[in-house]
Structure 1
Amino acid sequence: MAKKVRKRTVTKRKKRRSKKKRGSFFGALFKLAFSLGLVGVLLLAGYMAYLYPTVTDQFEGQRWRVPARVYSRSLELYVGAPVTRQQLTAELTRLGYRKVDNPRRTGEWAINGGRLLVRSRGFHFWDGDEPEQYLDVHFGSSGISRLKEKTSGKDLAIVRLEPMEIGSIYPSHSEDRVILSSGEIPKLLSGTLLAVEDKRFYQHHGVDPIGLTRAVVQTLMGNRQGGSTITQQLIKNMYLTPRRDMKRKLKEAVMALILDAKFEKEDILTAYVNEIYLGQDGNRGIHGFGLASYFYFGAPVSELDLPRTALLVGMLKGPSQYNPRRNPKAATKRRNVVLSVLLDAGLISESQYRSAAAAPLGVTAAKGGGDSGRYPAFMDLVRRQLRRDYQPEDLNSDGLRIFTTFDPWVQQQVESATDKRLQGLEKQKKLPKGKLQSAAVVVTPQDGEVLALSGDRQPAYAGFNRALDATRPIGSLVKPAVYLTALEKPQLFSLVTRLSDTRLTLEQNGKIWEPDNYDKEEHGAVALETALAKSYNLATVHLGLELGLNRVIDKLHALGVSQKLNAFPSLLLGAVELTPLEVAQMYQSIASGGFRSPLRAIRDVLDQHGNPVQRYPLTVNRASQPGPVYLLTTAMQKVVSEGTSRYLNTIMPAHLNLAGKTGTTDNLRDSWFAGFSSDYVTVVWVGRDDNTPAGLTGASGALRVWGDIMKPLNPRPLELHPPETIEMVTVDKETGLLANHDCYEVETRPFLRGYAPMGLAPCAGGSIDGLFDFLNGGNGGVLDKDGHPDFESWDNTGSERQPRKSGDGLGDFLRSIFD
């Protein structure tokens, strides 16, 4: 019995010891787990402390580098503005306005009879804000006939549409975005985002265990689903590399917890809306919904409707895979999935779903071109002039807004005319397709603003910019400088002065040079203006040699040619190489009445706070006096009416009184035309990059492109207003001497006052000696104290005439023959 008791006692002790051991084991295990957890928490806390500055400093500081925005000119609407309905509708289309039956929202327009109804957008200009308005625009035969506010019926003096963004300039990266504040994010967008990407955004703390678990289960079931929250996606885009592994996912989760703990939900959502990647445009990354809205739809995000909003949100899953321009079917399917999510969540009705699912994608044509947009040649000029006109330190700040002179309507005419005409010329001349190239520049006469610029027959191609960098011989485009130099010596030359158009032989740089006319003919004694209108080479060389090559070079420099020029006689026929932009500067100086305004592409630059950035001053210089320029311009009008550019009169009204000059180089390598109306100076070059003959004269090549550009622009007539130093005198057409009622062939021509011919024409009873004296030059007038013609004196009487020295004129040469 005692043994049994002892046995039971031993058994109980063993059980107690076993329980004690088990208790010790679980206790030890608990202690170990607790210790490991504590260590893990400490490590996590340390890791969070390590990551904390990285997360908070960038989020609190400057989150994004914002590129400089480059804008076109703003289209101004006012009564009398030469804006057609076609031009305004094209502008609205470029700006992303939507055509509707009845405009109710900003950015919509409609045709109502002969007028347009437009809900314009507001815009902050350098000189103030332009408000949103409901415009009622009426058109007449010459432009806008009435402009009023539709709701109130009040007449409006002037309205500026917002300018078009034509490109961006990045300080140091290739990301782009339009920053939206929290209040600028439409509720439709934020609601759609949360429904599709993160339903529990306002409940979790940066990482959603429920969503993560659901994603794992769905993935195991074969339906792969992401579990990242919006906060995690933001972390991935703002802070981390695209690499996928557990280490990066852990870092992402920890940083998401930090971000959620430190910042408000609205700040996180706003940052996500601005940061997320939504596509690529050349070398420019499209980041954020603000920019994506403009890039895909040409409109601000505030104007997006349900189907377009759903499309953008759907693209988050794969911006390339669901790109609506490249993969419209996939994009439509993905958009409709988003709409289904909204329907299931009760955020839209069944009818809204059906309507949105049936809607077209609504994307605009691809802009292309990356940071230079669709206008790389003009953007090239903008960059160069920023370096020329502004201090570098002022251009390093983010968020600059650069307002330019670029006119999209004018550029559209340049682009549509160039390639179409070149294709026809290649076919006509049996040239290989695509071999002809072209460059064009359009500027304003009075202030030298560059309205349009093309450096390639494919203007969107960001390659060699021929408008700025192709230096080519300009041929007869140089001649107006020669004739202006002569007309500045009115005691010797006027429009009717006879020049010798005869052959001559010269030595140039150790070689014999024998110039000739294009028609290989001599034309004897010809009027100065006829020699220019017909582009007679021989008469021009005789004239230039008499004037002196250095004087002609000085005049070219005064007109804006900056390079050094060699004093060779061939210079007189255009053996000087200029770019189309340099030619445009030269002709702007003439078209403006003699005032050289440096060609400019930039009007104003504002910093991110809206303050103007100071620029180096641009000075306007007088290239010539108004009187001689007036005479030259009348002669250049004859180039169009009677000379080498008569073609223009077959396609454009004669009352436009256009002025211009053709240019052709040796072996028909280069074809040029430079001409102007009262509102446009346009220069066109056509040729081949390999410098082989194109087979085109200025009249058969560049002039045709010029006409195709200018015709749809409806230029204003070139109405010359003679300065006080000009008087009109009736002369005999045959001799250029004074005429009376006995003369049958007469014309009234302008002369600098006091420098009209003194002698009578033979038909008016004049003597042969009077004719010889006239051919010598020696028209009258007053000289100033320096011996130069007094252009400012309008009461010259001719009492102090300064004739040529005996024996040095055409008249003395003819007199010697008759004597």
Structure 2
Amino acid sequence: MLGALLLPALIAIGLGVIALDTMVKAKFSGAKWALPAHVYGRPLELYAGQPLARAALLRELDGLGYRKAAQAEHPGQFKISGNTLDIHVRAFRFPDGQQPAQRARVSLDASGIAAIGDSSGAALPLLRLEPVRIGGIYPEHAEDRVLLRLAELPPYLADALIATEDRDFYSHHGVSPRAILRATWANLRAGGIAQGGSTLTQQLVKNLYLSQNRTLVRKAMEAVMAVLLELHYSKQEILEAYLNEIHLGQAGDRAIHGFGLASEFYFRQPLAELDLHQVALLVALAKGASYYNPRRQPERALARRNLVLAQLAEEGVIDAERARIAALQPLDVTEAPGGINQYPDYMDLVRRRLQEDYNASDLTANGLRIFTYFDPQAQRQVETAIADTLRRIEAERKLTPGQIQAAAVVVGVGTGEVLALAGSRSGQVVGFNRALDARRTIGSTAKPAVYLAALEQPGRYTLGTLVDDAPLSIVSGGKPWSPENFDHKSHGPVPIYVALSRSY
């Protein structure tokens, strides 16, 4: 009787394992993630004689996450010495090819950039900074990540992760009985859940394949799939997938996954540029990105980071003195998250244009890199001008602050390149985009085109031809329409150049 029951059970378990094995291989060997499209602005190109103020150049570097240093020894750093800036430009893959990292010296004077040279002192005709990433187009689940390879990791990241999350990673086969026993003992001593027994492989399986439900069935499936994953793939492949999959933060409805994007989100720097104390903080977040959020819970995050540093020293990865010095460093997290969509109105334009030529799946799953003409300097000037002008108008007319709105589009003369766009007085807020959706009369903006059409007939019109600025009334929609000049006066016969210059 027992054998009759046992055989079907074994067959069912075997079929279940085969199904899980198929699931593991299908996803891990294929496209593991839907990669969003990332949108970039224009690269700033520097050259001798360029009328670029020092403050504007420093703002550009700040927007790109460059750090001021005593010596610009590493990419992403710059040094200021009087009117000279030493900049270590990052490597970047532009549409026209890969640009390697390079050191350059930019000399400034009252009129702008006086000279640019390389590290040997030879003159450079052009120095190109990488473009700022202005936003992304995300899949429905709103996961965002920047994929990285193990070779791109900064020192100590993998060591710190294994030391704190899975000490037996290189010796177990997906499940670690030793870790389970160690966690059980720690939890009994603490009188609650103080430590988990899941391996990195189990955590990857849970995040990549399964739900977050805490049931015995899900836990059993997790263990079986972890063993299967280790059976088919190397430790390096599993670790690399974990580094890209782990959830490390939240920006509104956008989930920050992987250490590559987390570095930009918390430090506005590429992962390769991080120092030891910054790497330790990212590893600390693996324990719980919300609980140890360094912007909301800095004391909690600091304690966890220092624990990571202590464990690195305990494992012999770093010496005790280096751990002590790193533990004295601040969290170094930027006040505003990096990599977020700071320009929703411009991104609205980008999305609409792309949707005319691309399928939604291409934009949200294939990791496209989209380059635009967006100019952060022009955008800043537009937003400042709108804010100042509206405040002045409201003060002059005694209006409630915030009562009136505005929109603006800046395009390149002769090219039509959209350099900046503001759809409201607050360009940082997603909402009604007046630059794209508002419907207003064109008013006097039509006059240059009308006068140009006349001047294209030189036999009839010249700049000196007299035109009659007389009252006009047109019936439109059954109602009379009587436009007036700004001064509410008619000026009679006037030359075309006067009428055009004064908008009659």
What is the TM-score normalised by the length of structure 1? 0.58
Report what 1:142 is aligned to.
Answer: 111
CA distance in 2, matches of 1:450, 1:52: 51
CA distance in 2, matches of 1:350, 1:358: 13
2:343 to 375, 378, 381: 375
CA distance in 2, matches of 1:188, 1:109: 25
1:64 to 30, 33, 55: 33
> What's the CA shift string for 1:454-509, capped at 9, x where partnerless?
11111121111110110111222222222222222323322222333333555555
> Within 5 A, what are the aligned runs for 1:116-265?
116-150=85-119, 152-170=120-138, 173-222=141-190, 224-265=194-235
Matched, 1:432 2:400: yes
Report what 1:312 is aligned to.
Answer: 282
RMSD: 2.6
The alignment covers a number of residue pairs equal to 502
| Closer/same/farther in 2, CA of residues 516 and 162 from structure 1, 3 Å limit | closer
Report what 1:275 is aligned to.
Answer: 245
> Within 5 A, what are the aligned runs for 1:551-630?
none
> Within 5 A, what are the aligned runs for 1:332-411?
332-367=302-337, 373-389=341-357, 398-411=366-379
Aligned partner letter, 1:237: N
CA distance in 2, matches of 1:508, 1:437: 28
> What's the CA shift string for 1:208-254, capped at 9, x where partnerless?
11111111111111161111111111011001101002111111111
Q: Following TM superposition, by how much is the alpha carbon of 1:405 offset from its aligned partner in structure 2, in angstroms?
A: 0.8
Q: Following TM superposition, by how much is the alpha carbon of 1:527 offset from its aligned partner in structure 2, in angstroms?
A: 2.4
Partner of 1:472, secondary structure, is: coil
Partner of 1:129, secondary structure, is: strand
| Closer/same/farther in 2, CA of residues 264 and 91 from structure 1, 3 Å limit | same
Report what 1:293 is aligned to.
Answer: 263
> What's the CA shift string for 1:548-569, capped at 9, x where partnerless?
xxxxxxxxxxxxxxxxxxxxxx
Report what 1:492 is aligned to.
Answer: 460
Partner of 1:490, secondary structure, is: coil
Aligned partner letter, 1:376: P
> What's the CA shift string for 1:33-53, capped at 9, x where partnerless?
999999987765544223111
| Closer/same/farther in 2, CA of residues 408 and 507 from structure 1, 3 Å limit | closer
| Native 8 Å contact 1:369 1:460 kept in 2 | no
Q: Following TM superposition, by how much is the alpha carbon of 1:202 offset from its aligned partner in structure 2, in angstroms?
A: 0.7
1:458 to 426, 438, 445: 426
Partner of 2:420, secondary structure, is: strand
| Closer/same/farther in 2, CA of residues 514 and 411 from structure 1, 3 Å limit | closer
Q: Following TM superposition, by how much is the alpha carbon of 1:54 offset from its aligned partner in structure 2, in angstroms?
A: 0.9
What percent of counterpart residues are identical?
A: 49
| Native 8 Å contact 1:69 1:402 kept in 2 | yes
Report what 2:58 is aligned to.
Answer: 89
> What's the CA shift string for 1:566-597, capped at 9, x where partnerless?
xxxxxxxxxxxxxxxxxxxxxxxxxxxxxxxx
| Closer/same/farther in 2, CA of residues 531 and 124 from structure 1, 3 Å limit | same
5+ residue gaps in structure 2?
A: none
| Native 8 Å contact 1:290 1:301 kept in 2 | yes
| Native 8 Å contact 2:37 2:364 kept in 1 | no
Aligned partner letter, 1:75: L
> What's the CA shift string for 1:428-476, capped at 9, x where partnerless?
2211221111111111002110011111111121111110110111222
Aligned partner letter, 2:429: Y
Partner of 2:85, secondary structure, is: strand
> Within 5 A, what are the aligned runs for 1:24-63?
45-63=14-32
Report what 1:625 is aligned to.
Answer: none
CA distance in 1, matches of 2:160, 2:182: 20
CA distance in 2, matches of 1:118, 1:368: 21
> Within 5 A, what are the aligned runs for 1:509-520?
509-520=477-488
What is the TM-score normalised by the length of structure 2? 0.93
| Closer/same/farther in 2, CA of residues 50 and 453 from structure 1, 3 Å limit | same
5+ residue gaps in structure 1?
A: 1-31, 537-819
| Native 8 Å contact 1:102 1:109 kept in 2 | yes
| Closer/same/farther in 2, CA of residues 391 and 36 from structure 1, 3 Å limit | closer
Which piece of structure 1 moves more, 312-321 or 396-405?
396-405
| Native 8 Å contact 1:110 1:116 kept in 2 | yes
| Closer/same/farther in 2, CA of residues 64 and 506 from structure 1, 3 Å limit | closer
| Closer/same/farther in 2, CA of residues 34 and 284 from structure 1, 3 Å limit | same
Aligned partner letter, 1:228: S
CA distance in 2, matches of 1:258, 1:314: 28
